[in-house]
Structure 1
Amino acid sequence: MKNIFTYSSAIALGLALVAAPDADAQQFSKRKQYNSVGFSLNAMNYFGDITPNTNFTSLRAGATRVSAGVSITRRFYPRVSGRFGLTYGRITGDDALATKDVSDPDARFRRNRNFSFRNDIFEASAVAIVDLIENRNNYLKRPDFVPYVFVGVAGFYNSPQGLYTDGTYVDLQPLKTEGQETAYSKYQLSIPFGGGIRYRINRNFDASLEIGWRKTFTDYIDDVGGKYTALSKISGTPQQAYFGNGITLSQTGEYAGFTGQPNGGVAQRGDTGNKTDWYIVTGVTLNYILTPRIKNPKFR
């Protein structure tokens, strides 16, 4: 995923520079600029600790959840538009599903950890869209098919939950399941980037198919980021011990044994290294172009 982010961002940035306003683009008058509003139906997936591998082979239909969004787009130049969007969706992960891949070398670890979660994502994003086919005319003469790329910034609210023994979902962030001194923030930033293709339906409607990655800066949208911690640090409630799989330390400081759910004597709870979680939004958007008002010159 790190390479995907690096290469895709470089391509998007390069295209944005190529499409940056030049002398000819300045001739794209305000009369040719226009706004559109969009309504999206999406599928949302997640890459992180509760997946077999952090790549496309990890996508599971059973873990895909429906997402929806609204947006407003402003066309500024022949190739460049700006879009502000609001999106709501849910991501999920389950070790029990991940371990169905028998070739996964970490299958035993995942069976022992046996963790699952869900997380509702509320996202606000602002992105720059670069069309690969320019249109120097007004919206009435726009091309029928236009591939495009985008990159921007987003903020999102999230609160991972786990299924407790009584059948209820419990907010995991306040539990500090890995013994953190302070709970991680529910408000996070991400970098959305991706691409799609837009199709002109008629005078005022466009439809687009788009896929967008969200590179986050947190490892806790699944509440799993590091190692198991001492039971003494998470023994405040039964829920903390259950979800944190608290461990008991010997007098020498070594891991003497595990309590709670079975975990095979493995101290590592999440991926090693400084990794962060990702989520992906793939969907279809219907855009309605707001007919611009054209003021005719007045003659006296």
Structure 2
Amino acid sequence: MKQFFTYTLTLLLALVLLAPAADAQQFTKRKQYNSVGVTLTAMNYFGDITPKPSIPSLRFGATRPNLGVTFTHRFTPRISARAGLSYGRITGDDSKAADQNDPDAKYRYNRNMNFRNDIAELSAVAIFDLIPNRNNYIKRPDFVPYVFAGVAGYTGNPKGLNSSDNYVALQPLRTEGVEYNRGGIAIPFGLGARYKLNKSFDLGFEIGFRKTFNDYLDDVSTKYVSDPSQLASGDAFYFGWDITGGSGTGLDGTWNQNDQRGYQRGKDNEDDWYVQAGFTLNYILAPRVKSPKFR
């Protein structure tokens, strides 16, 4: 599955970057136009606190809303560039996501971790329309499927619900004895379709994946600390040691009722992803056409 996503991303980038140059020559500035949009999407994530610790596994009950604004410029009959700013939340809860009767999920059920992370994202993507528009915006096609890919910067703040039912920031606690960044670079890519409502408005539906280079969107990555004295506060001890009630599962699957030092806490070497799926309403800014001057 990981290779499938890699191949898909490579194909999308190729479609965007290798579009025929002739389109740009045939598409005059009079036909280029801008649009602004608002987005309402459902947001979820792939990571360690899901039913399965793999990319296609997510829990729909953990889905939360995401809001955003966009600005798009059409360059050619097929190619547009879009800048976007969005804000949304991802969540996870072992007690709801992991099946205690599944041998592969038992250590995650007993880990009993939970988190939420409010993510702000600034993105820039190239959009490749599968149906070209060689006319002006008024005569654009009624229905256009498209693919997109680009780059994004994001920042977040993973928090967990502690024993007092208060959310506390997890990154400063160093629950696995390491420091990590709360934000970074992501690669957004996906597909969607636009429908022409009238001369000025388009309604679109889009599914977009964000591949990050960070395994700590949920504050879970590798192993429990080898020495509990590394955990400097009560909350750090709760999330990084005692949240399972003083027991853990080793990498060999054996269950230790007394000690979890160095045992598996997350799945190594699997970066977290997040995904957005929902609607966009675009308003087209009619281009200003300069009238010829006569002397």
Q: TM-score, normalised by structure 2?
A: 0.91
Tell me the SS of whatever aligns to 1:23.
helix
1:39 CA displacement: 0.4
Give unmatched runs, 5+ long, in structure 1: 247-257
Query: Which one-letter code corresponds to 2:214 in the other structure?
Result: T
Q: Secondary structure at the match of 2:108?
A: helix
- Per-residue CA distance 1:125-151 (angstroms, 9 max, x = gap): 000000011111110110011110000
Could you say which residue in structure 1 is the equivalent of 2:11?
11
Matches within 5 A, 1:266-285: 267-272=263-268, 274-285=269-280
Aligned pairs for 1:51-66 within 5 A: 51-53=50-52, 54-56=54-56, 58-66=57-65
Number of the residue aligned with 2:175: 177
CA distance in 2, matches of 1:101, 1:271: 17
Change (3 A) 1:232 1:24: closer
Please report how far the alpha carbon of residue 3 of structure 1 lies from its aligned counterpart in structure 2 after TM superposition.
Answer: 2.0
* Separation in structure 1 between the aligned mates of residue 247 and residue 202 of structure 2, nearest angstrom: 53
CA distance in 1, matches of 2:27, 2:228: 65
Distance of 1:128 and 1:177 partners within structure 2? 38
User: Is residue 73 of structure 1 aligned with residue 72 of structure 2?
Assistant: yes
Where structure 2 has 5 or more consecutive residues not aligned to the other structure, the ranges are 249-254
How far the C-alpha of 1:18 sits from its partner, in A, is 3.8
Amino acid at match of 2:197: I
**TM-score, length of structure 1 as denominator length:** 0.90
| Partner residue in 1 for 2:229 | 232
Give the C-alpha shift of residue 262 in structure 1: 3.7
Residues 1:191 and 2:187 aligned together: yes
Show the counterpart of 1:165: 163
In 2, are the aligned partners of 1:118 and 1:160 still within 8 Å (CA)? yes
Equivalent residues of 2:100, 2:106 under 8 A apart: no
Matches within 5 A, 1:55-134: 55-56=55-56, 58-100=57-99, 102=101, 104-134=102-132
Deviation at 1:239, TM superposition (A): 0.7
Q: Answer yes or no: is the 8 Å Cα contact 2:110–2:244 preserved in 1.
A: no
Identity across the alignment (%):
59
Q: Name the CA distance, whole Å, in 1 between partners of 2:287 and 2:64.
A: 36
Question: Cα–Cα, structure 1 residues 101 and 60, in superposed 2: closer, same or farther, change >3 Å?
Answer: farther
Once the two structures are superposed, residues 225-282 of structure 1 have per-residue CA deviations (whole angstroms, 9 ceiling, x without a partner) of 1100020211x11111001016xxxxxxxxxxx985543435010003x210000000
SS of structure 1 residue aligned to 2:95: helix
Asked if 2 retains the 8 angstrom alpha-carbon contact of 1:52 and 1:101, the reply is no
Question: How many Å separate the matches in 2 of 1:76 and 1:187?
Answer: 31
- Give the CA RMSD over aligned residues: 1.7
**Retained in 1: the 8 A contact 2:51–2:59?**
no
The answer to whether the Cα contact below 8 Å between 1:155 and 1:190 also exists between their aligned partners in 2 is: yes
Return closer, same or farther for 1:244/1:291 CA change in 2, 3 Å cut-off.
same
- 2:134 aligned with 1:143: no
Contact 1:40/1:68 (8 A) holds in 2: yes
Give the C-alpha shift of residue 176 in structure 1: 0.5
Is residue 242 of structure 2 the alignment partner of residue 243 of structure 1?
Answer: no
Cα drift, residue 296 of structure 1: 1.1
Q: Distance in 1 between matches of 2:264 and 2:115?
A: 18
Deviation at 1:167, TM superposition (A): 1.1
Q: What CA distance in whole angstroms lies between the structure 1 residues aligned with 2:180 and 2:10?
A: 30
